[in-house]
Amino acid sequence: MYDDRNLTLLTDFYELTMGNGYLVNGMADTVCCFDLYFRKIPDEGGFAVMCGLEQAISYIKNLHFSDEDISYLRGKNIFSEDFLTYLSSFRFCCDVWAIPEGTPVFPNEPLVIVKGPAVQAQFLETMLLLCIDHQCLIATKSARIVKAADGRPVMEFGSRRAQGSDGAIYGARAAYIGGCCGTACTIADSMMGVPALGTMAHSWIQMFDSELEAFRAYAKCYPNNAVLLVDTYNVLKSGIPNAIKVFEELKAQGYKAGGIRIDSGDITYLSKKARKMLDDAGFPEAKIVASNSLDEYIIQDIIRQGAKIDSFGVGERLITSRSEPVFGGVYKLTAVEKDGKLIPKIKLSENVTKITTPGFKELWRFYDNQSGKAIADLITCHGEIVDDSKPYVIFDPEHPYKKKRITDFTAKKLLVRIFDKGECVYNSPNTSEIKEYCSEQINTLWDKVRRFENPHAYYVDLSERLWNEKQQLLNDMSIQ
């Protein structure tokens, strides 16, 4: 299996140097907490989509240091033999909580919490961020593009433009979870059940003596789904007329017309002309697929202009999230155990957005009982009880003067336990189940949160107890 690779050393080198330092200083087994979260929603959107957890779980399950790994590290001549012995008998024993994949998420709330021995909890940083950041980014972009398509299917076509094989494979997975109907990436279907889709390239047309001959040859192979690429030479003068001839021949054999794909030119103009030509020829059922450097804004614009498109194929601008290709997740220490008690820790910065929220935490989402819509999230200290039988006043952390009073709601915890003392206790849903869940959860957001332009800021607040702890630490640090 592709996911069974030993990726243990896919880590920043300083995770190892710090681990060695913790051991040398007698801190290897000191229990601590880390939060993985992000600071900013890509593309100035209203929400992001949690994704990548399954691959993070797979990494942790397979976490071990081989003899080759130990030999390599020994050759660096900077690690103690005690540390190398520790790694050679490594057994993961942390507790891990995470938000399920497909859930809409917001800045500064913990997507993953890790609690356990310092060496282990610290070591997870690089790979957790790699898995979660990448797939959150692509799933979020996919959700935006699918929204722009307004009910029309969107296919992910970007493998050849992805940043490496993992970018293609897991990007296809994330795009599917975010709402795409399938992918051109065959291995993503084989590995994870993401439906593989596709038609033909321009080279198919060029291989034959004529465009008509190429269309006939393809239709002979795939009479039940002949989607013909019509822009190799001229969409209106040859592509569509030749496609119509082949559809007429298929009809005579008892088959329905499949459709056409337009991959260049003025998509709006050409699709309108194509629709009329197909309808006039008696093929209103023939679908029109559009591709060619599309994103949510282009799709939204051409639909507003009246383009007659039935589905879209989106490549590089989805698989690379070209408009904003970095998710920006971070992994920060929040608490350290001393004398059996977790002591909150805070990181300060002159950049206010980089000041961390201390402590071992939980995350709640408030759902309106009348509409079922999500209305706010609340970050609390671990073990705090949220009483949804009484009103809550929620503040917008970015604009403390803005608040809302919430009544008649149900509070649900978002973080679920993934590992219990190193044992995985979570059964990952299959990819189709996550996709369905994602669609359901996005629909719990108000339209004003989901819009592209100036989306409404979703409220994410700290409980009074957690806010007080943070303020106390800020005050204590300011007088040091």
Facing residues of 37 across strands? 330
Looking at residue 396, its pLDDT comes to 76
Q: pLDDT band for position 132 (50/70/90)?
A: very high
Band (pLDDT 50/70/90 cuts) for residue 167 is very high
Q: pLDDT tens digit string along 69-92? A: 999 999 999 999 999 999 999 999
Q: How many helices and strands, by DSSP H and E, does the chain display?
A: 17, 21
pLDDT tens digit sequence for 16-34: 999 999 999 999 999 999 9
Tell me the average pLDDT across 208-227. Answer: 98
Q: What percent of the chain has pLDDT over 90?
A: 94
pLDDT of residue 3: 57
Judge whether residue 176 has pLDDT over 90: yes
Best CA proximity match to 361, nearest among 14, 64, 33: 33
- Per residue in 408-452, pLDDT tens? 999 999 999 999 999 999 999 999 999 999 999 999 999 999 999
Task: Place 403 in a pLDDT band, splitting at 50, 70 and 90.
Answer: confident
Rg (CA), the chain: 26
pLDDT band at 397 (very low <50, low <70, confident <90, very high): low
CATH topology assigned to domain 2-138+325-478: nicotinate phosphoribosyltransferase (3.20.140)
- Taking Cα atoms as reference points, which of 334, 276, 331 lies closest to residue 307? 276
What's the distance, CA 407 to chain centroid?
32
- The number of beta carbons lying within 10 Å of the beta carbon of residue 218 is 22
Three-state SS for 296-338 is HHHHHHHHHCCCCCCEEEECHHHHCCCCCCCCCEEEEEEEEEE
Q: Is the pLDDT of residue 40 over 60?
A: yes
Q: How far apart are alpha carbons 434 and 438 in whole angstroms? A: 6
- How confident is residue 283, by pLDDT bands cut at 50, 70 and 90? very high
Q: Which of 28, 32, 27, 30 is nearest to 335 (CA)?
A: 32
The pLDDT, as a whole number, for residue 480 is 54
pTM here is 0.96
Domain edges within the chain? 2-138+325-478, 199-292
Tell me what pLDDT residue 1 has: 44
Evaluate whether 236 touches 278 at the Cβ level (below 8 Å): no
* DSSP category for residue 203: H
Other CB atoms within 10 A of residue 280 CB: 10
- The per-residue DSSP string of 58-125 comes to HHHHT----HHHHHHHHHTT-S-HHHHHHHHT-----EEEEPPTT-EE-TTS-SEEEEEEHHHHHHTH
Mean pLDDT confidence for 109-138: 98
If pLDDT is split at 50, 70 and 90, which confidence band does 2 have?
low
Q: Which residues pair with 376 in a beta bridge?
A: 366
pLDDT band at residue 96, thresholds of 50, 70 and 90?
very high
Contact 193, 432 (CB under 8 A): yes
Residue 128 tokens, joined: 């957790």
Query: What pLDDT is stored for residue 189 in this prediction?
Result: 98
Query: What pLDDT is attached to residue 423?
Result: 98
Q: Classify domain 199-292 at the CATH class level.
A: alpha beta
pLDDT at res. 458: 94
The predicted-structure confidence for 348-367, as pLDDT tens digits, reads as follows 998 988 999 999 999 999 99
Q: Which token pair is 173?
A: 């997975």
Residue 113 has pLDDT above 60, yes or no: yes
pLDDT mean over 138-148: 98
